[in-house]
Amino acid sequence: MGDHAVQEEDAFLRAVRTAPIINHYAHPLLTRQATAAGKFPLQAITTEIEGCALAAATASLAQLRAVKQLSGVLGCEATWSSVQSALESKRQQEEVYEEWVKSCLSSICTVLVDDLIGDEKVHEPYSYFNKFGAESKRLVRIDHVAAKLINQACQEHVHPDMAFSSFIMSLKNAISANIANPMVAGFKSAICYRNSPDTSQSENKHQAFIAFQKIHTKRKRKEAEPFSRLQYDGLSEYVVHCLASLISELASPYTKPIQFHTGLGDSDITLTKASLSYLHSFIKQYPTVPIVLLHSGYPFVREVGYLATVYANVYADIGLVFPMVSRDGQEKVIRQILELCPSSKVLWSTGGHYLPETYLLAVTQMRKGFETVLSEYVKKEDLTWIEARDFVEDILFRNSNKLYNLGLDLNSPPPVLTPQSETAQAELDKAVLDQEEKEQFESEPESDQSDSDRPKSNFDGLAKLKRAGDSIQYVRLCWHDITGTTRGRTIPIRRAMSILQSKPDFKFSVSTSALALLQTDEMLPGVSPAKEWDLCADFRSLRIGPRKGLVTVMGDFQEKDGSSVFLCPRTILADTLRLASSHNLEFILGFEIEFVLLKRTGVRQFEMLDGDAHGWCSVTAADHDAAIAVEEAVIKLDEAGIYVETIHPESAFGQYEIVLPAAPALEAVDTLIFARQVLSACADSHGYKMTLYPKPYAKATGTAAHVHMSISSPRGSDQDTWESFYAGILKHLRSILAYTCASPVSYSRLVDGCWAGGTWVTWGCQNRETPLRKIEDSHWELKCMDGLANPYLAMAAIFSAGIDAVELGQKLLLAECTDDPATLNEEQRKKLNITEKLPATLLEALGSLKEDEALREILGVDSVERYIAVKKAEMKMLGAMDDTAQRQWIIERY
């Protein structure tokens, strides 16, 4: 990618991350006193749920994500109670609170406020936003205005016909006055929310009067409550038609839009009546009246986009889904709107209400959603970077500026941020997110406490265990040691729930010898079990299984003071990903699990399956009895939220492969380890043994753990970046092999001409005889890895090599190899710059690693030394066995 293309990408990233926002729909904030008094529950910041149902909201993805994000800004534990406590502290002093509000509103230059809602005594006026540099105007909620006028008319007039006439006159006067008011930007109606949106009838005065009579009769009863909510068929439609008629008829320098609340409501909304197709006739009747469909119409998103596309006077707002819908849902909303709707017809708003945090979360999640989706369109060549930038600026600023006639200049400076508000925004952008979100791998916010010192919060552990169901009896807390052995502690659910209800962290003491053990539990010389670490659960990794009644959670080792353990494989990968994030690199991984099923014939006795004509993708092999165990495993993985993409037999007898879904790097490795456990458990239950042994049969294909890698961050579309990244992997591949082919028996698989990636350090497009296979742009596959590796350490080594090369701007010197490199002569290989062979033994690979100063430095010299020590001790132990005993021993354990 040339300098010009880089500049265009940078222009897009600046826009999506910093462009000033016209927040064309929001609600006022509660007063500080009302906020401090709990007039609006924190749990409702991401939901319209009210009453008893609100208690369950804390278990939603939107709620969990919000707590994590807020805790990242506030510097507190990621629990509801901790976040609430931190916010309550900010509300105690006016000066501190106002600084917090300012930080929450950063990058919003204008707010249009629907201020006629709820108890006006506990709300700040709409002009309160001006105090924080966000110029404000009003949105008149016509339903609320009409309700007040109805109540007034019923009080003043005994006869319903006189009251109705008075109401109509007052309503038209109020509408006309607001159309002329320069501080009113537009109108808002909730008719699509409180009633059916069927406004097909024109101003049917008779039906309106019948509905009004019912209200008048109730209002005249003794001790009747004041009328406050317009929700009467016939009358509601009349009010909206009256408004549209006056907007279209009155002479005015500007025509003011009508906003309709669509979708995303509380229990008052009736989904069967909420389809926006009912609005067609109303839209056609008033072609000169701008109509804005708010809140994405969720779940009728595509209908909103369709109406905005086919009618010149209709605009689609995609607000409020941020932060009320999960990340995946938000991205789908953006995609579904843009499926059909031009970007010039799309607006964005926070829908912020009552608490300043609603604005903060909406802006941050929106920016991340637009960056993700639009970057994907650029990568797919549907947009250029400049077109993507224009989409962002149109949706966030220009479209609203034009529609509401605000007369603002996009190029004028946005509101000046104080240092505190800048920090708050930066911290929120980098806060650790939940298990479905790739931000968990970005750099953490700067603070007095480093990443390694930051305690891992398990705020969602309790909620996740409750969602897992009453059948769960045990929690298995696991780690994956240096030998590639998964170990763990099992905790009865009663004890687990008790810990989560009373303590901030879910952790257990484990001897420091845990990362110095061989598979036989023999310790390295010089290592003592006298000290302990804490194994801390990361509930983002929680999965149901691998057996009934069990959930599995991966853990990280920490020192007793809460700092990270530099030897912990999972921590090493997480640290490597944070380093990548500092270079604007993020990764998506997809693992293929190859495995062999053996038939159990006795204690520690296995034999080859007796299947007929087992072959690659053979239907006969797919119908073997053993395949039932594989299919059962896939069902269990599906129940655990892991959606396998394909299953097929491989070439060797009893050999199968399942392809796991792509996921952010740490999540993908967690998933790989869990999926293997499920496969093993299902095989055992059917009388088979599942093994990852790299070369189970001398004359058959081997068993690998191929990994597909993509650079998922926007920088990944830069050819210079991904070429440097893979150049780094090739440069360090001989050292990397010490991690990816981590057993002496691994090297029996690495042979030429057997689909195993061969024995030469090279690459090729779709060439399965090279260890590194290019598939498309930044999507490549590493073939020289098997199931005996610790995948946390293996991926850390791979990423470290690539990151180092990107930082140095290293060029891809090896030319593409289009043939099996083993079939080329020396001169042909020399032309392609193929000069090195992969190590032929683990000892040779460890020697390369020991001499690779750059890779050792990134991974940590001490951790590399520990790894080499464990591997050499393992080699010594295996070397004392003959080939048959060694094969048996490894199959039993892997």
**Cis-peptide, bond into residue 445, ω within 30° of zero:** no
b/e code 205-214 from CB counts within 10 Å (16+ = b): eebbbebbee
- 3-state SS string for 367-419: HHHHHHHHHHHHHCCCCCHHHHHHHHHHHHHHHHHHHCCCCCCCCCCCCCCCH
CA distance 461 to 538: 8
The confidence band for 685, taking pLDDT boundaries of 50, 70 and 90, is confident
Answer positive or negative: Cα dihedral of 526, 528, 532, 536. Answer: positive
Q: Residue 94: in which H helix or E strand, if any? A: helix 94-104
Residue 387 has pLDDT above 80, yes or no: yes
CA 625 and chain centroid, separation: 39
Please, which contacts does 888-891 make with residues 24 or more away whose CB atoms are closer than 8 Å?
888/604, 890/691, 890/693, 890/743, 890/745, 890/788, 891/598, 891/606, 891/689, 891/691, 891/693, 891/696
pTM above 0.75, yes or no: no
The confidence band for 280, taking pLDDT boundaries of 50, 70 and 90, is confident
Domain boundaries of the chain, sorted by first residue: 3-140+256-261+268-426, 455-565, 572-586+718-776+789-894, 590-712
Answer positive or negative: Cα dihedral of 103, 107, 108, 110. Answer: positive
pLDDT at 268 (0 to 100): 62
Residues in CB range of 605: below 8 A, 6 or more apart: none
Paired tokens of 800: 């470290």
Using alpha carbons only, how large is the chain's radius of gyration in Å?
32
Please, which contacts does 616-624 make with residues 24 or more away whose CB atoms are closer than 8 Å?
616/648, 616/649, 616/650, 616/651, 617/648, 617/649, 618/649, 621/649, 621/656, 622/647, 622/648, 622/649
| DSSP category for residue 549 | T
Residues in CB range of 446: below 8 A, 6 or more apart: 423, 426, 427
The confidence band for 389, taking pLDDT boundaries of 50, 70 and 90, is very high
Burial of 526 (0-12, 13-18, 19+ CB in 10 A): exposed
Geometric angle at alpha carbon 48, from 293 and 468, rounded to 5°: 125
What distance separates the 2 farthest-apart alpha carbons in the chain?
A: 106
pLDDT tens-digit series, residues 725-743:
999 999 999 999 999 999 9
CA distance 59 to 55: 9
pLDDT at 429 (0 to 100): 37
Q: Is residue 137 a contact partner of residue 51, using CB atoms and an 8 Å limit?
A: no
| DSSP category for residue 227 | P
Residue 335 has pLDDT above 70, yes or no: yes
CA distances (Å), 457 to each of 426, 498, 504, in order? 20, 16, 7
pLDDT at 117 (0 to 100): 64
pLDDT tens-digit series, residues 609-638:
766 667 776 777 777 778 888 888 988 888
CATH number of 3-140+256-261+268-426: 3.20.20.140
Closest CA to 484 of 847, 893, 886, 798: 893
What does the DSSP assignment read for 335-361? HHHHTTS-GGGEE------BSHHHHHH
Closest CA to 352 of 119, 104, 72: 104
Q: Is residue 308 a contact partner of residue 346, using CB atoms and an 8 Å limit?
A: yes
Q: Is residue 476 a contact partner of residue 544, using CB atoms and an 8 Å limit?
A: no
Paired tokens of 393: 């600026």
Paired tokens of 679: 């496969």
pLDDT tens-digit series, residues 20-70:
999 999 999 989 888 888 777 777 788 776 667 677 777 889 889 999 999
CA distances (Å), 460 to each of 169, 266, 541, in order? 55, 25, 11
Over residues 850-876, mean pLDDT: 91
Give me the residues paired with residue 691 across strands.
596
- Amino acid making up residue 334: I
Residue 705 has pLDDT above 60, yes or no: yes
Place of tokens 């055992």: 684
pLDDT tens-digit series, residues 104-159:
998 899 999 997 666 667 888 888 898 888 889 999 999 889 999 999 888 888 88
Crossing angle between the packed helical segments 205-219 and 160-180, to the nearest 10 degrees: 110
| Helices of type H across 431-568 | 461-468, 493-502
Looking at domain 455-565, its CATH class is alpha beta
- Same topology between domain 572-586+718-776+789-894 and domain 590-712: yes
Helices H / strands E in the chain, number of each: 32, 23
Domain 590-712 has CATH 3.40.50.2300: no
pLDDT tens-digit series, residues 465-521:
666 666 788 899 999 999 999 999 998 888 888 787 767 678 888 988 889 889 888
| Superfamily (CATH H level) for 572-586+718-776+789-894 | Glutamine synthetase/guanido kinase, catalytic domain (3.30.590.10)
